[in-house]
Amino acid sequence: MKKKSLLLMLAMLLILSAFLAACSSDNAEPAETDNETETEDGTAGEAQSGGTLTYGFETAPEGLFNPAFYGIATDAEVLALFDEALITYDENLQPEPGIASWETEDNKVFTFTFEQGVMWHDGVELTVNDWVFALETIASPDYDGQRYSNVQTIEGAEAFRNGEADSISGLNVIDDYTIEITFDQARVNNLVNVWSYPMSRAQFEGIPVAEMSASEQVRTKPVGLGPFKVTNVIPGEAVEMVKFEDYWRGEPKLDGINIRVLDSSTIVGALGQGDIDMVTLAPVNAPEVEELDNVEVITAPGLTYYYIGFKLGTFNNETKEITEDKEKYADLNLRKAMAHAIDRQAWVDAFFFGYGKPIDGPVPSNHWIAADSADLETYDYDPERAKELLEEAGYVDVDGDGFVEDPNGEPFVAKFSHYATGNPTFETRAQAIVQYWQEVGINAELEMTEVNLYYEMIEKDDPAMETFFGGWGTGADPDPTALWGSDQLWNYPRFKNEESDKLLADALNVDVVGTDEELRKDLYVQWQQLVASEVPMIFIAELDEIWGLSDRVENVTFDVSGYNNPYEWSLAQ
Amino acid sequence: MLKYTIRRLIGMIPMLLLISFVVFLLAKAMPGDSLSGEIDPLNTNPQYIEEMREKLGYNDPLPVQYFNWVSGFLQGDFGKSTRYKVPVSTLLAERLPNTIFLGVTSLVITYILAFAMGIFAGRRPYTIGDNIIGGLNYLGLAIPSFIAGVFAIYFFSFNLGWIPYAGSVEVGLERGTFEYYVSRVHHVLMPAIVLGLLGTASYTQFLRNDIIENSRKDFVRTARAKGTPTSKIYNVHIMRNSIIPLITFLGFDIATLISGAIITETIFTYPGIGQLFLESVGNRDYPTLMVITMMLSTLTLVGNLVADILYGVVDPRIRLD
């Protein structure tokens, strides 16, 4: 989700790389790798131990290797290997006890109990004080990361941040392994929302909060709790890790993991040569990789989706209110017609090589709150239905130019905006959407806008933005309020619906749902039905996560929450 | 000479001010800022973005922002990268050695190849050897470096396995050991050749043409008449004169050393200034972007000055005062 814009020059490179990748897959010789380290340990149990896995990255990490400070997904991928949250998530994205287990009676006061004997990589034992330290760091006014929303729900965090208190009053340390946290109010999602990565108090001792993000404890000598520890960071190109023998769940099977940064043009070739064992693939590369003998392509359900939004109103930044004052797409039948006009399956197959599928609502289908498509109003590819709907709405071709006019007889031009980066496929895939609309008689126009400007225009409700392409992701916490509430800046279509607001609020309200997950899901399903029937967006596709794994990698599995714990990974010798 | 140098150095000040103004305005004229672009709703929130804009001063009027930047710059405070969250000077210090190493290697390769081929072709103009060299050179001039880079990776890395295709050093080597330096050289070789391709071609042709031209001059005829051996005529008499224009190129190479590698570094995933520059443009990392641009501008100005001074040094007929 974080492709940033490259320059036009790179567009050429991308085309070339696709060509190159094609060449290299033909000539790919079966791996004649010289493994960096081959170790003595023989066979032990079902999985062999030893060996160093090489993990390829397509973008360089920024080097902010601390959960409290990182900004981009690439850094998070590095972090996942050497650090660990207190709470983990199962394959249904439900929280399960990890280092910490919890108890609560009212969803307001939680008691967390830590495992004893969990060690930081520097040999210091983890205590709840490290968690308090992390929470206070994030709540500090000097903190320059973006995690405060995960702390502000704790009672007293606001006062601490404003300098009115010396500590966060909601944190009550009972002993080294037990802490009681009081939130400012009972919420269903207090647990999944709260910041759950401790920070080593010993390591950061004496470093002011404002200087932490630049300190070597974050950048080159990070210390975590996870199965591997960082031994060397070569900025912009590699991170070396070795196994952490005292890892609390058990000794990792691999000797180490090396992360190497590669240009996207070399990924396929490097996989074919066996230089890298594991990599996330862009859909465009995956078909080439499938043809390699020594690499397996694995897809896992993703949590991101693409949509086409309709601008229905404007957002007032002062009052934080949405007014649905844009008339052009106010007609529900028009929106439905435009949805029926698009052949989403063909589109996904053409531009994502089949690594994805059409989606019918605002929640990826593998999330536990996702409504079954059968319960939603769906808009399958049906040009005839689209034409009927247009006619019902009063959009008919008056002047005989092949395109419909609006109900007042004025020419109707639907403007479709898509962001432009160096990626040459964006324009073609956007053009395809425009053509679908033209085929049912809507005169559509495409406008490609540079990606940074694009989102600024959407946020400011620029009149030039009428229908727009976008993508969103969902996390473990399913609450979609930030993207759909009628007082939210990121509600890009400016969809305002009291029923929707009420459903979203109810789903978080302890008095309504209590701790009943089924009840909560029910409310979200109702909400999805509402959104699907109102069509503020045409939901296009959800994408798979695609991984390339070399055949020597074993015991790596994927589900919707990501891969399994890396301490289980191993390499065939 | 000293007076001239000082005069030129003083003359640079208004030039640099003007450049800083343009750089600043151009950077600000780019749509969006470091906080805009695709948003990951799981990872951030509008309040944070609003607060950071205020903290970074993006909401101040432009003249205030410009003044803050310039005054910081003059005091040696280059600002903090908005993306990497470290002082830009730290970031540059991390990358600069890589780029300089790449640039110097590329320059050395360029000079060796250019001298060898240029002298060979110059001595035997219009023969098969000269034509082959000429043909190769025009090919080198015609192939853009990003194409050359991708093809080099394909043939030499993937097919032949001679050279690495990414990074500046092998993972897992201890800094300072012999293997470490060998690996560095191994990694820098291919990008350096690709980077030097264009330079090699123009230098070779330049040298060749100069040698041919000089070999027709009167002093060569005189030397021949005296019975000086041909090799001495070429290696001493002609060479000395033909090198003059090349030496002045050295000045310009200073800037090229650092700026020329933008594309090459990106393709070879070689973490240097060029790659950083491209990333900072893509991420609206203004502090980094502006410092690198200022650095390159300054180097170009200094390079010009060095070229002019060298010209006076190697050719006493040119008076600089």
Partners of B164 on chain A (C-beta within 8 Å) are none
Which residues are A491's β-sheet partners? none
pLDDT at A8 over 90: no
> Using one digit for the tens of pLDDT, what is the confidence trace for B164-197?
888 888 777 777 788 888 888 889 988 898 888 8
DSSP symbols for A159-202: HHHTTS-SS-TTEEEEETTEEEEEBSS--TTHHHHS------TT
Q: Which residue of A has its CA nearest to B271?
A: A236
pLDDT at A30 over 80: no
Residue A46 is predicted with a pLDDT of 56
Question: Quick count: other Cβ atoms within 10 Å of Cβ A2?
Answer: 13
Q: Cβ contact (<8 Å) for B166 and A260? A: yes
A214, two tokens: 């630049």
Residue A18 is predicted with a pLDDT of 43
Contact B48, A148 (CB under 8 A): yes
> Using one digit for the tens of pLDDT, what is the confidence trace for A51-75?
899 999 988 888 889 999 988 888 9
Average pLDDT of chain B, as a whole number: 85
Q: Which residue of B has its CA nearest to A195?
A: B43
Residue A154 is given by DSSP the state B
- Å between B267 CA and nearest CA of chain A: 6
Provide the pLDDT confidence category of residue A343 given band limits of 50, 70 and 90.
very high
Which residue type occupies A503? L
Report, as an integer, the average pLDDT of A454-463.
Answer: 87
Report, as an integer, the average pLDDT of A297-323.
Answer: 89
Q: Cβ contact (<8 Å) for B172 and A36? A: yes
Mark which residues 361-400 of A lie under 8 Å from B by CB: none
Report, as an integer, the average pLDDT of A222-231.
Answer: 94
Q: Cβ contact (<8 Å) for A149 and B263? A: no
Contact A484, A496 (CB under 8 A): no
Helix %, strand %, coil % for chain B, to 5? 75, 0, 25
Question: Quick count: other Cβ atoms within 10 Å of Cβ B160?
Answer: 9
Instruction: Supply the angle between the helices B88-123 and B286-314 in degrees, to the nearest 10.
Output: 40
Provide the pLDDT confidence category of residue A87 given band limits of 50, 70 and 90.
very high
Torsion of CA B293, B298, B304, B307, to 10 degrees: -110
Shortest CB distance from A62 goes to which of B84, B159, B284? B84
Q: Cβ contact (<8 Å) for A62 and B87? A: no
Report, as an integer, the average pLDDT of B213-217.
Answer: 89
Which residue type occupies B177? T
Q: Cβ contact (<8 Å) for B55 and A1? A: no
Contact B170, B185 (CB under 8 A): no
- Å between B153 CA and nearest CA of chain A: 8
Number of C-alpha atoms within 13 angstroms, CB side, residue B179? 5
Phi, psi torsion values for A68, nearest 5 degrees: -75, -20
pLDDT at A216 over 50: yes
Mark which residues 143-162 of B lie under 8 Å from A by CB: 146-147, 150, 153-154, 157-159, 161
Phi, psi torsion values for A313, nearest 5 degrees: -165, -160
pLDDT at B271 over 90: no
Residue A21 is predicted with a pLDDT of 40
pLDDT at A3 over 60: no
Q: Which residue of B has its CA nearest to A68?
A: B43
Q: How far apart are CA B131 and CA B149, in angstroms?
A: 25
Mark which residues 24-83 of B lie under 8 Å from A by CB: 30-33, 36-48, 52, 55, 80, 83
Report, as an integer, the average pLDDT of A199-220.
Answer: 90
pLDDT at A4 over 50: no
Number of C-alpha atoms within 13 angstroms, CB side, residue B277? 21
Residue A10 is predicted with a pLDDT of 42
Provide the pLDDT confidence category of residue A415 given band limits of 50, 70 and 90.
very high
Provide the pLDDT confidence category of residue B314 given band limits of 50, 70 and 90.
confident
Is the confidence metric ipTM above 0.85 for this complex? no
Share of chain B above pLDDT 90, in %: 10
pTM (predicted TM-score): 0.78
Buried b (16+ CB within 10 A) or exposed e, A280-308: bbbbbbbbbbeebebbebbbbbbbbbbbb
Which residue is associated with the tokens 């092949």? A402
Instruction: Supply the angle between the helices B128-142 and B88-123 in degrees, to the nearest 10.
Output: 160
> Using one digit for the tens of pLDDT, what is the confidence trace for A245-298?
999 999 999 999 999 988 877 888 889 888 899 999 988 888 889 999 999 999
Provide the pLDDT confidence category of residue A131 given band limits of 50, 70 and 90.
very high
